[in-house]
Structures are given as structure tokens and as C-alpha cells.
């Protein structure tokens, strides 16, 4: 485990406080995409940023926002470096981030119990409360019901799917597991 200096921890918190440009209810720290801050000189830092997926169009906006908040914090030179290894996973979303997604009306990704890659399944589009525990149904963020159906594998962003609750009939986004 890497030990951070007090300054690195402070700057990591500042960089992590930036709202995600696509999901402004979450900070980059809650989303888990700001990986590290390295102090290079007295007033120069490098920030490691891992996008949610390789072609994420929000990387440029995130980088600019990180540079801005660190400069406002007194850092003269800021470099944001995109780091693709280890790849970002929905497991990197904090518990607070998952809570905020649910409150915002987006079903958070299900918690994975294994480090194995997420299997791609083109099978049934419905989940039900009678599903086996291993199936871990997608619950409606509005009413909590597990009886939901997939309307579209893609929603407002490539990271989300569009679902509908069969109890309250409300549509909602589901942050897909990666």
C-alpha cells in the first residue's frame, strides 16, 4: 500500500472533489476515477485519472476541471495523466457514490462478489424478486422493487442501461456493472 504525504492527501481530496461532468451528483472521488496525486516539485503535481472506459468523452472535461481546482488551490503546474491500468471497474464507486446514484434516481451497479470479468449476457431482460440470490436483481431506485425490465442496453451514456419498474412503472437508468 502506498503511503501518501499530508500534502498529497490534501491535493487528492481537492482533485477528487470535482463533480463528474456526466453525473454531477457524484464527485470524481466517489466515482473512483482519480487514482493518485504525485507532488513533483514545490508547486507541480501530476494527477492519475482512469476513465470509466477507454473512449470516455468526459476525460477532457474532467482533466480541465481537475487542473482548475488545483490551480485555485495554489498549485502552479498541474499535469493530468490518463492511466488505463488497472482498468476502472464499477467496484471502484464508493458506498457514498452508490447512495447518491440511488437518491438521484439511477440504480447503482450491483456489487460483484468475484474479481472475474463481468459476463456479457444477452438473455432475459427482466429481473424479478423471486430470482435466486446469485442473480442479484436490479432494483428500482424509486420504490425498491426487484421486478424490473430492460428497455434499452444503452441510455443517456454508454455506462448506463434504461430499465422500467414493473411495480411503479417508472423508467430509470441503471449504471451497468463493469
What does the pLDDT read at residue 115?
Answer: 61
Is residue 137 left, alpha or beta, with left meaning phi > 0 and alpha meaning psi from -120 to 50?
A: beta
pTM of the model: 0.78
Residue ranges in the chain whose pLDDT is less than 70: 1, 112-135
Residues of the chain with CATH 3.30.300.130: 6-82
Nearest to 12 by CA among 49, 56, 55: 49
Distance of alpha carbon 169 from the chain centroid? 26
Specify the residue for cell string 476513465: 51
What does the pLDDT read at residue 122?
Answer: 55
| Residue-wise pLDDT tens digits, 110-146 | 876 666 665 555 555 555 544 434 468 899 999 999 9
Contacts of 177 (CB under 8 A, 6+ apart): 90, 109, 110, 112, 118
For residue 23, give the C-alpha cell. Answer: 453525473
CATH 3.30.300.130 fits 6-82, yes or no: yes
- H-only helix segments in the chain: 6-16, 28-31, 59-72, 95-104
What does the pLDDT read at residue 159?
Answer: 84
* C-beta of residue 112 within 8 angstroms of C-beta of residue 177: yes
DSSP 133: G
What does the pLDDT read at residue 132?
Answer: 38
Amino acid at each position: 500500500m502506498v503511503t501518501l504525504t499530508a500534502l498529497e492527501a490534501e491535493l487528492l481530496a481537492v482533485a477528487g472533489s470535482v463533480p463528474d461532468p456526466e453525473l454531477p451528483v457524484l464527485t470524481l472521488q466517489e466515482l473512483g476515477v482519480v487514482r493518485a496525486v504525485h507532488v513533483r516539485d514545490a508547486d507541480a503535481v501530476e494527477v492519475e485519472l482512469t476513465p470509466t472506459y477507454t473512449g470516455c468523452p468526459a476525460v477532457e472535461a474532467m482533466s480541465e476541471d481537475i487542473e482548475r481546482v488545483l490551480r485555485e488551490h495554489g498549485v502552479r503546474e498541474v499535469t493530468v495523466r490518463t492511466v488505463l491500468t488497472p482498468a476502472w471497474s464499477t467496484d471502484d464507486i464508493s458506498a457514498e457514490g452508490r447512495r447518491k446514484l440511488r437518491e438521484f434516481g439511477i440504480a447503482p451497479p450491483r456489487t460483484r462478489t468475484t474479481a472475474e470479468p463481468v459476463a456479457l449476457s444477452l438473455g432475459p431482460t427482466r429481473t424479478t424478486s423471486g430470482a435466486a440470490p446469485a442473480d442479484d436483481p436490479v432494483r428500482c431506485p424509486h420504490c425498491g422493487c426487484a421486478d424490473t425490465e430492460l428497455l434499452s442496453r444503452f441510455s443517456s451514456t454508454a455506462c448506463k442501461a434504461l430499465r422500467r419498474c414493473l411495480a411503479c412503472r417508472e423508467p430509470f437508468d441503471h449504471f451497468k456493472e463493469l
